Amino acid sequence: MSKTILITGAAGFLGSHLCDRFIAEGFEVIGMDNFITGDRKNIQHLLDVPSFKFIEHDITEFVNIQGHLDYILHFASPASPIDYLKIPIQTLKVGSLGTHNLLGLAKAKKARILIASTSEVYGDPLVHPQTEDYYGNVNTIGPRGVYDEAKRFQESITMAYHRFHCLETRIVRIFNTYGPRMRLNDGRVIPAFMGQALRGEDLTVFGDGLQTRSFCYVDDQVEGIYKLLFSDYAYPVNIGNPHEISIKDFAEEIVKLTDTKQKIVYKALPIDDPMQRQPDITLAKKILNWEPKVDRAEGMKKTFAYFKGLSKEELFKSEH
């Protein structure tokens, strides 16, 4: 008999790719979302699939699921800096109250739950690359604190349910991931640069552009999450691509890829923007036998093809 999995944040970027993967693997998938940052378009292709069911619901309210559940993937949360600056209270609530509801549901259903944490738990890291045993450097009261601290609380309450209720839990610390279905106007650097190139606007690099990130293609991220769910490891695991690049060099790569005639311009660096970020994936390699396979050139080509396929209306529509 096929297993049933609940995926929260199903209409978002990562959630929708996870729905695709688990349906392809023969699971009965229940997607849940309240569309606060997601888009119905991301799951439109699944609505007629017999093994997919969608429930519109805000998970900060009690989550009620009829019948049996084997697994839960908890991915609901605003995830881009402009989203969580715009909806800070909802961000804190979904990471805290929302996670509490899902842990309670997992306990009631005796389901295994995997929660989506983030490299942001390391804040502006003083250890480089970041290993799972680094405790992080987060400004609790800064504007990004609402996301970082919600995710840190999420990890703590998950471990408490694991230790106190013997719940089967998994924690993935996701590093910057990209690919088709990212929201064009979510402010994250890849949709920002690609949207600017396609609209004929200058590419806006924040600060001096020497800050670094390491970008992981979505298929690699989904594979890492899939392997982690079925592992027996309850502590946090970094999943990301260690190939690090400065934002300035990255902007230059995107100028070449998109063949835009626009310039790179410099704007103020947002408060608490981390200066460097690169996952140490030794643990994932060892316990999951996982490492990313898609290099940035290939992943960026696929991502650009997605953004190029958007309609003019979508390309020019202002924020969500």
The binding site for ligand UDP (CB under 6 A) comprises 80-81, 176, 187-189, 192, 204-206, 211, 213, 247, 269-270, 273
38 vs 240, beta carbon nearer ligand UDP: 240
Looking at the Cβ atoms of 17 and 109, the one nearer to ligand NAD is 17
In the complex with ligand NAD, which residue's Cβ is closer, 137 or 262?
Answer: 137
> How far apart, in Å, are the Cα atoms of 175 and each of 7, 40, 65, 221, 279?
19, 25, 30, 9, 7
Task: Name the binder of 192 from ligand NAD, ligand UDP, none, CB < 5-8 A by kind.
Answer: ligand UDP
Handedness of CA 214, 219, 222, 227 (dihedral sign): negative
Beta carbon nearer to ligand NAD, 179 or 260: 179
Pick one of ligand NAD, ligand UDP, none as the site partner of residue 14 (Cβ within 5 to 8 A by kind). ligand NAD
Rounded to a whole number of angstroms, the minimum distance from the CB of residue 184 to ligand NAD is 12
Q: Which is nearer to ligand NAD, 8 or 303 (CB)?
A: 8
Query: Which one of the spans 55-63, 197-205, 242-250, 304-312 is the region binding ligand NAD (CB under 6 A)?
Result: 55-63
Tell me the C-alpha distance between 113 and 116, whole Å.
10
Stretch that binds ligand NAD, among 73-81, 104-112, 265-273, 307-315 (CB under 6 A): 73-81
Q: In the 8-state DSSP scheme, what is residue 242?
A: -
Give me the least distance between CB of 36 and ligand NAD, in Å please. 4
Rounded to the nearest 10 degrees, the angle between the axes of helix 296-308 and helix 247-258 is: 60
Residue 12 engages ligand NAD in binding (rule: CB under 6 A)? yes
- Whether 105 and 72 have beta carbons less than 8 Å apart is answered as yes
Rule CB under 6 A: choose which of 98, 191, 195, 274 binds ligand NAD.
Answer: 98
State the alpha helices, DSSP H only, in the chain. Answer: 13-24, 81-86, 88-93, 99-109, 145-165, 189-199, 218-229, 247-258, 282-288, 296-308, 312-316
Residue 114 within binding range of ligand NAD, rule CB under 6 A: no
| 303 touches ligand NAD (CB under 6 A) | no
Whole-number minimum distance, CB 261 to ligand NAD, in Å?
29
**Tokens 């400065």 sit on residue:** 246
CB of 110 to ligand NAD, least distance (A): 23
Distance, C-alpha 84 to centroid of its chain: 13
The strand pairing partners of 246, in sequence order, are: 212
Residues 127-166: x where in contact with ligand NAD by CB under 6 A, - otherwise, as a string:
----------------------------------------
Please state, in angstroms and rounded to a whole number, the distance separating the CA atoms of residues 21 and 8: 14
Find where tokens 């693997």 sit.
Answer: 25
Paired strand residues for 6: 30, 72
Residue 211 contacts which entry, ligand UDP, ligand NAD, none (Cβ below 5-8 A, type-dependent):
ligand UDP
Q: Which residues contact 314 (CB under 8 A, 6 or more apart)?
A: 184
Say how far apart CA 306 and CA 66 lie, in whole Å: 36
**191: contact with ligand NAD by CB under 6 A:** no
DSSP 8-state class, residue 262: P
Query: Cα(225)–Cα(229) distance, rounded to whole angstroms?
Result: 6
Q: Which residues are catalytic?
A: 147
Q: What residues line the site for ligand NAD (CB under 6 A)? A: 8-9, 11-15, 33-38, 58-60, 75-79, 94, 98, 116, 118, 174, 176-177
